[in-house]
Amino acid sequence: MSDRQHCRPVNIDELREAVAWAVGEERTLEVRGNGTKADYGRPVECSAVLETTGLAGIDMYEPDELVMSAGAGTPLAEIEAALAEKGQMLAFEPADYGAILGGEAGRQTIGGVFAANLCGPRRIRSGAARDHLLGLQTVTGHGQIIKTGGRVVKNVTGYDLCKLLTGSMGTLAVMSHVTFKVLPAPETCGTLLLTGAARATLLGALCRAMGSAFDVSSAALLPASAAARSTVPDVSAAGGEVAALRIEGPAPSVAYRISRLEDLLHDGEIECARLDPDGSALLWREIRDVALLDRQAPLWRISTAPTAAADIAGEREDVLFDWSGGLIWATGDERGDLRARVDATGGHATLVRAS
């Protein structure tokens, strides 16, 4: 195996052998699925590639038990298609960064999702990827096979290695198989759009909605430039900043909760409008995949307290607020002003894409 620079194991034993070879030869490995996040963050300098796409396929799916197990190299699209047939979903709504990182959308693997701890706008209600991972089979950096967690939602197995390994980007171990919980998809969804007010007022409205009893599943704010890029007509034609609240569930409940949110938030400054389910699905996919910002400029991912979002972003147009302001996507920042504001408020900034 000493002459191989590209490893593509098809089972756990070959995966262990590949890692053991790298250890013995003192070679560094770039662990990847389809490489959709190869340009995410700091560049990797490795002498060999370990590809997990040979570890593919859904091994177990029990819809009644709300659990699925699959090889780490299984395409996410395959998993979501299987779930959709049974009216189920990955509730953490994994984002697809393929396009914003210069690649193709729709190619990521389930292992990559958990390795990066990906999640979307629904995180504020359903949690992140690590909150849905039940069990793992991995190979450590010493070439040892480890199984952790289990195959049931209620499982007590001591120290939760699943949470530790999720988000580690393949630096602690190579995932070969993952077991995770799934949930029923909502019957319908609707979105309440808020416009006509200043940014701080709209962000405050999002926080008020999240603190209400109306079970908002997602809350975001688009500056005028981001809203204008949307393919949803009611959003792109707004002519200013647009805040959005997503409500999901049975149709009568969704209609009632949207109506009550209108009563709560509508005033002389804020104007309200509604999106239908199709428009809602499209808008939240655009927000999830950060599709409404400049794809050429450096891209920052900022985690902060929602109450600090307005102070961090100021009046910048090159931003997008998700998680009711707890997550800010921003482009540019050549002078470092944004990073300085994040440091001052106790937040955390990651350079996702360099120019």
Query: Which CATH number is associated with domain 186-355?
Result: 3.30.70.2190
pLDDT at 157 over 70: no
pLDDT at 130 over 60: yes
Determine the angle formed by the axes of helices 251-265 and 199-210, rounding to 10 degrees.
Answer: 130
Which two tokens mark 137?
A: 């089979």
pLDDT for 2: 42
What pLDDT digit, counting tens, does each position of 180-237 carry? 999 999 999 999 999 999 999 999 999 999 999 999 999 999 999 999 999 999 999 9
Q: Residue 17, exposed/middle/buried by CB under 10 A (0-12, 13-18, 19+)? A: middle
The percentage of the chain sitting over the pLDDT mark of 70, rounded to a whole number, equals: 95
Query: Which residue is associated with the tokens 């091994």?
Result: 59
Confidence band (pLDDT; 50, 70, 90) for 1?
very low
Query: Which CATH number is associated with domain 1-185?
Result: 3.30.465.10
What pLDDT digit, counting tens, does each position of 136-148 carry? 999 999 999 999 8
Domain boundaries, the chain: 1-185, 186-355
Are the C-beta atoms of residues 6 and 32 closer than 8 Å to each other?
no
CA of 129: how far to CAs of 1, 27, 95, 229, in Å?
35, 30, 10, 28
Evaluate the CA torsion angle 65, 71, 72, 75 in order and state its sign. Answer: negative
pLDDT for 4: 47
In three state form, how does the secondary structure of the chain look? Answer: CCCCCEECCCCHHHHHHHHHHHHHHCCCEEEECCCCCCCCCCCCCCCEEEECCCCCCEEEEEHHHCEEEEECCCEHHHHHHHHHHCCEECCCCCCCCCCCCCCCCCCCEHHHHHHCCCCCCCHHHHCCHHHCEEEEEEEECCCCEEEEECCCCCCCCCCCHHHHHCCCCCCCEEEEEEEEECEECCCEEEEEEEECCCHHHHHHHHHHHHCCCCCEEEEEEECHHHHHHCCCHHHHCCCCCEEEEEEEECHHHHHHHHHHHHHHHCCCCCEEEEECHHHHHHHHHHHHCCCCCCCCCCEEEEECCHHHHHHHHCCCCCEEEEHHHCEEEEECCCCCHHHHHHHHHCCEEEEEECC
What is the overall mean pLDDT for the chain?
A: 92
Q: Residue 162, exposed/middle/buried by CB under 10 A (0-12, 13-18, 19+)? A: buried
Evaluate the CA torsion angle 210, 211, 214, 217 in order and state its sign. Answer: positive
User: Rounded mean pLDDT of 283-302?
Assistant: 94
Please tell me the least confidently modeled range out of 75-89, 156-170, 276-290: 156-170
